[in-house]
Amino acid sequence: MSRYDLFTTPFWKFEEKPVEGAYEWALSMKEKDPNGVCLSNYGGWQSHSYFSHMFPYGKHIASILSKYSYFQKFVTTNWWVNINQKGNLNMPHTHPGSELSGIWYITDNHGSLGFIDPSNHTRSSLYVTKILEKENIFIDCKAGELLIFPSDVRHVVRPHKLDTNRISVSFNMVIPDLGINS
């Protein structure tokens, strides 16, 4: 596991191996609910949100996170599957109502996940005058890897450029005993 500081925000990347059968499971989710939902996705398919106990790979994710004491106080509240085909993308968005969010990659993301610097709205005149360069940070993740980040950080997914599926599972986490999300 590596911790990085993105802008002034930490995020964590866990370099894990792909899980056998996860790709087929994700496609079966789409077969069961071919319409899915349209939230941040533009094209592509996004499943409905499900409670954490309904995630068949929840124990796998929990075992990765349990190795680090600071993640043990968090519980996963919900999850959903994302399947993008060529040209599909996700618009900039955050995950309100949670402290941390995660993305488990079933396939490589080919550097498509971009994080938007949270200070860019307060420094817009500096960007306009070219004193600062305005850049999003794009993260490359391989199949099996897990990424955790604060839920309030805006992120975007670039259009998929390949003829293969780009598949991930996103989820949200809270600290239940704080009482701020109840």
Q: Which candidate, 147, 144, 138, 97, places its Cα nearest to that of 117?
A: 138
- Output the six-digit token pair for 24: 């087929």
Specify the pLDDT at position 131: 47
As a dihedral over the C-alpha atoms of residue 149, residue 123, residue 139, residue 45, rounded to 10 degrees, the angle is 80
pLDDT confidence of residue 125:
53
Q: How confident is the model at residue 182 (pLDDT cuts 50, 70, 90)?
A: very low
**Average pLDDT rounded to a whole number, residues 150-160:** 91
Find all residues with CB under 8 Å of 151, minimum gap 6, and list them. Answer: 94, 95, 96, 97, 98, 99, 100, 101, 172
pLDDT in tens, 106-146: 999 999 999 887 766 555 555 455 444 456 788 999 999 99
DSSP H/E element including 59: helix 58-65
Q: E-assigned strands of 25-112?
A: 41-42, 45-46, 50-51, 75-84, 89-93, 100-105
> For residues 112 and 87, what is the distance between their CA atoms, to the nearest angstrom?
12
Q: Tokens standing for 33?
A: 């609910």
For 14-48, the pLDDT digits (tens) are: 999 999 999 999 999 999 999 999 998 889 999 99
Which token pair is 166?
């780009």
pTM score of the predicted model: 0.86
